[in-house]
Amino acid sequence: MPQPSEVAAMIDHTVLKAEAVWADVQRVVDEALEHRFASVCVNPVFAPMVSGKLAGSGVKTCAVVGFPLGANDLTVKCSEATVAVKSGAQEIDFVAHLPYLLGCDLDAATAEFEAVVAASKETNPHVLVKVIIESAALMATGDAGLAERRIEAACLAAKAAGCDFVKTSTGFHPAGGATAEAVELMADYGEGLGVKASGGIRTWADAAAMIEAGATRLGCSAGVAIVNGGAGGSAY
The one-letter amino acid code at 158 reads: A
d(CA 50, CA 14): 12
- For 131, other C-beta atoms within 10 Å of its C-beta total 31
Residue 204 near residue 233, CB atoms below 8 Å:
no
Q: Is 195 left (phi over 0), alpha (psi -120 to 50) or beta?
A: beta
List all residues 6 or more positions away from 168 whose beta carbon is below 8 Å from its beta carbon.
132, 133, 134, 135, 136, 177, 178, 179, 182, 183, 186, 196, 197, 198, 199
d(CA 137, CA 179): 11
Residues classed as catalytic: 93, 167, 196
Q: Is 72 left (phi over 0), alpha (psi -120 to 50) or beta?
A: beta
**Angle, alpha carbons 72-75-78 (nearest 5°):** 90
d(CA 189, CA 185): 6
